[in-house]
Amino acid sequence: MNETGFVEAKALIDGAKRIVISGHLSPDGDTLGSAIALARLLKAYGKEAYATADLNALGKLGFMKGVEDIIPVRKLRHQRKKFDLFICVDCRSLDRLPPEIRGVVDGLPTLVVDHHDGEAGSFGKVDMSDASASSVGEIIWRFARWNGWELDDVAAEALWVSIVTDTGRFAYEKCSPETMLVGADLLRHNVRKELINDIIYNRFSNKAMQLKRIAWKSLHVWRSGRVAEVTLTRDDFRAVRGTKADAEDAVEIPRLCQRNEVAVYFYQIPDRTKEIRCSIRTRNNWNAAELAARFGGGGHLHASGCTIKTSMSAAKRMMRSAIKEMMKCPPKQLSLPTAKPDTKTNPEPAPAPSDSTATSA
Ligand SMILES: [Mn+2]
């Protein structure tokens, strides 16, 4: 794990009084968990620190401790001028922030903490990102440890949610021996691990169940299942009065096909016609970040997202032809982590292009 930026980040924090923290639109477990934990840690350190998020987009994550301290993005505008530092977590591009926050943080000194594959450059004044980290939560844990900051139970639970969700419950490629040690440390606190697992992975609202049923029916498989898709249209969401957050995991359905290598979930946000979001998951080194980057999105090697501003049928045509083209040549053999027990960090693949308009990966 890379600790570059910690010294500069600390200096920036020391020079600030009122700090605002935000992650990307449609916050996921890592975004929310790292924002909550960081705000707690900074408060305990003597700063005024506020995590902000679109509270209407939390979905299941609303159960998290610390959510009650989050300032809704739309209330931020009234707080202008008072902040003197912006910390951007789980994202390194202004385009991915909730629109309400862009005006508030514009011009503020900015610290970026991200772990997406991408170019080193970001809009931050100081950047303590690390593309080898499993999650931003892991970077925050390391930063806290480096500073000698103690975690309280709320921060520990938030970081647990970060890491669990971004590693697919300690299973994805970037989950390193060090990630497991961070997890082990977090469990020394009162982390409700069983409840968290149950809420996030094993319990679904009626709306979510109905959307799953529709998504299953839409399953479209080609190349003998090597490529598979599901679709939820604006009408589907309307029919069950559901939101994007009710179908966050729909991309897991096409992934279940035994031979699946590329899975895509196409969906439409009810009030945005002519805008198709694509959530992409790959296996076997097919570069999901590069595929999404063709459409201005980005993400990780095996998980990415993008938005295509066109109709559903045109978006599908474009994505399918991009997939076909990608699959013409075998994927680059990337340096995946070896089975050696002493592997310290996961070597990362060649950087993917910037993920400026990626939807949550
Ligand atoms: Mn993340």
Report phi then psi at 264, rounded to 5: -130, 135
Instruction: Give the pLDDT confidence score for residue 96 in this predicted structure.
Output: 85
53-57, 81-85, 144-148, 329-333 — which is least confidently predicted? 329-333
pLDDT higher than threshold 80 for residue 15 = yes
Look at 351 and 203; give whichever has higher pLDDT: 203
- Give per-residue burial for 82-110: e unless 16+ CB within 10 Å, then b: ebebbbbbbbbbbbbbbebbeebbeebbb
Per the listing, tokens 């032809």 go with 321
Instruction: Give the pLDDT confidence score for residue 337 in this predicted structure.
Output: 46
Q: Average of pLDDT values for 188-207?
A: 96
pLDDT higher than threshold 50 for residue 181 = yes
What percentage of the chain exceeds 90 in pLDDT? 72
pLDDT higher than threshold 70 for residue 349 = no
Per residue in 255-265, pLDDT (tens digit) is: 999 999 999 99
Closest CA to 9 of 148, 82, 163, 113: 113
**What strands lie across the sheet with 276-282, from one edge to the other?**
220-222, 227-232, 262-268, 276-282, 303-308, 298-299
Instruction: Give the pLDDT confidence score for residue 353 in this predicted structure.
Output: 37
Q: Tell me, what amino acid is at 137?
A: G
Quote the tokens at residue 221. 């498989």
Q: Average of pLDDT values for 146-161?
A: 98
Find the 239 Cα to ligand 1 centroid distance in Å. Answer: 31
What percentage of the chain exceeds 70 in pLDDT? 89
Closest CA to 361 of 290, 285, 279, 283: 279
Hey, how many other C-beta atoms are within 10 angstroms of the C-beta on 273?
11
Q: Which residues fall inside 5 Å of ion ligand 1, going by CB?
A: 30, 90, 166
Find the 90 Cα to ligand 1 centroid distance in Å. Answer: 5
Find the 223 Cα to ligand 1 centroid distance in Å. Answer: 31
Find the 110 Cα to ligand 1 centroid distance in Å. Answer: 18
Per residue in 276-304, pLDDT (tens digit) is: 999 999 999 999 999 999 999 988 889 99
pLDDT higher than threshold 90 for residue 202 = yes
Statement: the pTM of the whole predicted model exceeds 0.85: no
